[in-house]
Structure 1
Amino acid sequence: MQLSSLFASPVLLLQLCIDSLRFMFASFFSKLYYSTVYSETISSVAPAASKVHQEKDRNVMTPTSVNYHFTRKCNYKCGFCFHTAKTSFVLPLDEAKRGLKLLKESGMEKINFSGGEPFLHDRGEFLGELVQYCKQDLQLPSVSIVSNGSTIKEEWFQKYGDDLDILAISCDSFDESTNQLIGRTQGGKSHIDNLHKIRSWCQQYKVAFKINSVINTFNMYEDMTENILQLNPVRWKVFQCLLIDGENAGEKALREAERFVISEQLFQEFLERHSSVPCLVPESNEKMRNSYLILDEYMRFLDCREGRKDPSKSILDVGVKKAICFSGFDENMFLKRGGKYVWSKADMKLEW
C-alpha cells in the first residue's frame, strides 16, 4: 500500500494508532504483573528461609553446664574409675583460659573442674587460677570442683574459697575397709576423717559442700543415711557404676570395673533405702551416659553414647559450636535429670 493511500484513509490510520496503543499497554501490564509476582514470591520465601535459619540456630546446643577434666593424674586407684590416667597432659594455663572464655561466649553458666584429681597439678594452684578466672573475669554464676579431698589444704580455701561455689567430695562408703577394697585411699590416711575436715572448711570459708557416691558391689547394701544427714551436704549425688570401654573395661583399659557393676534393681533398692535423705540426687547409667558435657584434657567433648569415649575436635581448634555437635549431648535428658538447679552459692541462702 502506498503512503499516499494510507493518509487518504482515516479509518486505516485510526486502526494503526489503536494497535500501537494496545501493544504498549500489554507490554506495560505484563512487566507489572511479573514484577508483582516475583516480589510476592521473594517475600514469601524469605521468611521461610529465615525460619529455617532460626530453627537451625535453635538446634545448636548450648553448653550451659560443662565438666572440664583438665588432668587424668590421680593418687587414688578406684577400681571403677572411668577417666583414668592414660596421659599426663595438662594444657598451659593461658590456653585453658582461652577455651573457658570460648565456652562462656557460647552460653556456659556453670563450670565443674574434675580429673583425675584436680588438686594434684601444681599443688592446686593451677586449679585455683582457673576458679578465680571463671568467677572474677568470666563472671560465671557457678564454679564447682569434684575431688577426692586427699590433698586439699586450708590455705587453698583462704586464697580461692571466695570464688568457689560448690566443692564435691567423692565418698563411696563410711567404712574404711570398704574404701580400701574400692581403692579410694592412700597410705594410712582416713578418707572419712578427711571428709569431715573438709566439710568444716567449707562451712568456715562459705563454700557449698556436696558428696558424690558411686554405688557398686562393695557398698550396695550399706546404709549411709545417718552419716549423710550428719554431714548435711547441699546435694548427695548417687551414681550407678558405669562401664566405659577403654577406661574401666576392655583390653586397653587401666581398670577392670566389671566386678563393681550392679544391676538396675540393686541400684533402685539402694535408692529406696535412702529415700528419707532430702538431698539425695540419683543418677542411673541411662541418665548419666549422655546428659553430661565432658571436656577432656585437650578440651575435646567426649561422646559416651556407644559405651566408650569418642572425642570431638578441640574447641581450641574448631570452636564450641562445631565441637559440641559431636558430643552426643542430650539436652532434654540433662534437664530431665535436674542438671540445672540453684548452683550459685549466692542464691542458695545457706546458713554459714
Structure 2
Amino acid sequence: VTCWCDSVGSKMQISSVVASPGRLLQLCISTLCCVLTSVFSKVRRWTAGTCKGTASPVSPADSRPDEGEAQTPTSVNYHFTRKCNYKCGFCFHTAKTSFVLPLEEAKSGLRLLKESGMEKINFSGGEPFLHEKGDFLGKLVQFCKQDLQLPSVSIVSNGSMIRENWFQKYGDHLDILAISCDSFDEATNQLIGRAQGRKSHLDNLYKIRDWCQQYKVAFKLNSVINTFNVDEDMTESITELGPVRWKVFQCLLIDGENAGEEALREAERFVISEQQFQEFLDRHSSVSCLVPESNEKMRNSYLILDEYMRFLDCREGRKDPSKSILDVGVKEAIRFSGFDEKMFLKRGGKYVWSKADMKLEW
C-alpha cells in the first residue's frame, strides 16, 4: 500500500494486496493524520470569526463586491503573523490571533497570486522575524524570488529580531528591507511603544543599515507621524542613513484594531490633523527620498492579505475580510478587497522596486 498527502487531503493507492496487518494499520493511521491536518487548517480559516478578536469570514465586505474591471494584485502586502514584541500605541494590525498558515499552504497562496499578476510581495506583521526566529520568513522570501521569480520581494520589520546570519542565508533573495522608525529620540520611541526594554532602537537601526549595504539589500525607512513626533525635524538623520525610500504615514485609526471597544490599542491620542501632517511634510521637503502617505491614500490603495490569506477592505474605517484566496481563488476574493487600482498608481505604488534595476552603489 502506498500513501501520500497533497493540499486537498490524503489519497491512497493500492499498489499491492500483500501487506502485513501491522503495516496496513500503520499506513491507515498515517493517512488519517494527513486528512485531519489538512481539514484542521481549513477549519481554522473558515471559523476565524468565532475566535476571540478575529473578524467573521462572512463579513459586510461579502455583500458589496466591487464593480467594473477585474483588479490585478500587482503589489500585495502579506501580514502572515499578527504577533509582535513591540507595543506601538497606534498599531493598526494588532495581535488578535497567533495563527500562522503552514509553510506549504502559504506557498500555494503566493503561487496563486503570482499566476494572477503579482509582481511585488511585501511581508509584514506583527513582527515577521518573530515566527521561527525569521526562518519561516526567509523560506517565503527565497520561494518568492527563486521559485516564483518575482521582480520584487520586500519586508517591513521593527528590526529588533534581525541577525546578520539571516542576511548570510537569505539576503540574496531580498530586494528591499524597510525598518520602522518613528523618532530619532530614544525617549520618544519609548513613549510611542517602539521599543523592547531598554534596548536602543536607533543603535539597531544603524547596524541593520550597514548589513543591508554589506549584503546588497536596498534599505528603506517607514515612519508613522503622530502627536509624539509631529514637531520633530528628522532631516539630518534621514540624510545620514540614506534610505532608497522614506515612507511617511499619517497615523490612521482602524475600528477593531486601534480604535473602538474591540480594539487592543487606543490610538486616538496619537492622531494628528491633516494640517499638522502637511506641516511635517513641508519641514522635510528637502529630503528627496520622502514618499508621503496620507490617510486617504492608505485606506484603499493597498492590497492587504491577512494571516488566513484574506483580503482586508479598509474603506469603512475597519478591516472587513474577504474569503481566503486558498478557498475561492484570487479573482473572487479580490472583488471584496476595496482595492482602488487607480489610486495605487496615482500615489506611486509602482516604482523601481527590484534591486537589480536600482543601480545602487554597494
Scaled by the length of structure 1, the TM-score of the pair is 0.84
Supply the RMSD in Å over aligned alpha carbons.
1.1
Cα distance in 2 between the residues matched to 1:204 and 1:272: 33
Cα distance in 2 between the residues matched to 1:188 and 1:265: 34
Counterpart of 1:208 in structure 2 is 218
Counterpart of 1:153 in structure 2 is 163
Q: State yes or no: 1:295 paired with 2:271.
A: no
Q: Alignment length, in residue pairs?
A: 297
- 3-state SS, counterpart of residue 291 of structure 2: strand
Counterpart of 1:165 in structure 2 is 175
Structure 1 counterpart of 2:276, from 266, 269, 278:
266
Cα distance in 2 between the residues matched to 1:58 and 1:93: 34
Structure 2 counterpart of 1:307, from 303, 317, 329:
317
Structure 1 counterpart of 2:251, from 236, 241, 245:
241
Q: State yes or no: 1:71 paired with 2:81.
A: yes
- 3-state SS, counterpart of residue 149 of structure 1: coil
Cα distance in 2 between the residues matched to 1:243 and 1:336: 23
Cα distance in 2 between the residues matched to 1:240 and 1:59: 30
Structure 2 counterpart of 1:98, from 108, 112, 119:
108
Cα distance in 2 between the residues matched to 1:87 and 1:94: 20
Please list every run of 5 or more consecutive structure 1 residues that lacks an aligned counterpart in the other structure.
1-55
- 3-state SS, counterpart of residue 217 of structure 1: coil
**Pairing 1:54-65 to 2, within 5 Å after superposition:** 59-65=69-75
Counterpart of 2:205 in structure 1 is 195
Residue 122 of structure 1 and its aligned partner are, at CA, apart by 0.3
- 3-state SS, counterpart of residue 123 of structure 2: strand
What letter corresponds to residue 159 of structure 1 in structure 2? K
Counterpart of 2:37 in structure 1 is none
Choose 1 or 2 for highest CA Rg. Answer: 1
Counterpart of 1:23 in structure 2 is none
Counterpart of 2:326 in structure 1 is 316
Cα distance in 1 between the residues matched to 2:273 and 2:340: 23
What letter corresponds to residue 99 of structure 1 in structure 2? G
- 3-state SS, counterpart of residue 325 of structure 1: helix
Q: State yes or no: 1:230 paired with 2:240.
A: yes
Aligned-residue sequence identity (percent) comes to: 87
Q: State yes or no: 1:281 paired with 2:281.
A: no
Deviations 1:82-109 (A, max 9, x none): 0000000000000000000000000000
Deviations 1:250-282 (A, max 9, x none): 000000000000000000000000000000000
Residue 58 of structure 1 and its aligned partner are, at CA, apart by 8.1
Please list every run of 5 or more consecutive structure 2 residues that lacks an aligned counterpart in the other structure.
1-65
Deviations 1:47-105 (A, max 9, x none): xxxxxxxxx99811000000000000000000000000000000000000000000000
* Higher helix content, 1 or 2: 1
Scaled by the length of structure 2, the TM-score of the pair is 0.81
Cα distance in 2 between the residues matched to 1:258 and 1:119: 28
Counterpart of 1:251 in structure 2 is 261
Deviations 1:170-202 (A, max 9, x none): 000000000000000001110000000000000
Structure 1 counterpart of 2:90, from 76, 80, 85:
80
Q: State yes or no: 1:110 paired with 2:138.
A: no
- 3-state SS, counterpart of residue 230 of structure 1: helix
Cα distance in 2 between the residues matched to 1:304 and 1:187: 33
Q: State yes or no: 1:340 paired with 2:350.
A: yes
- 3-state SS, counterpart of residue 209 of structure 1: strand
Cα distance in 1 between the residues matched to 2:72 and 2:88: 32
What letter corresponds to residue 171 of structure 2 in structure 1? G
Deviations 1:88-134 (A, max 9, x none): 00000000000000000000000000000000000000000000000
Q: Which runs of 4+ in 1 moved over 4 A?
A: none
Counterpart of 2:41 in structure 1 is none
Counterparts in 2 of 1:243 and 1:348: CA distance versus 1, 3 Å: same
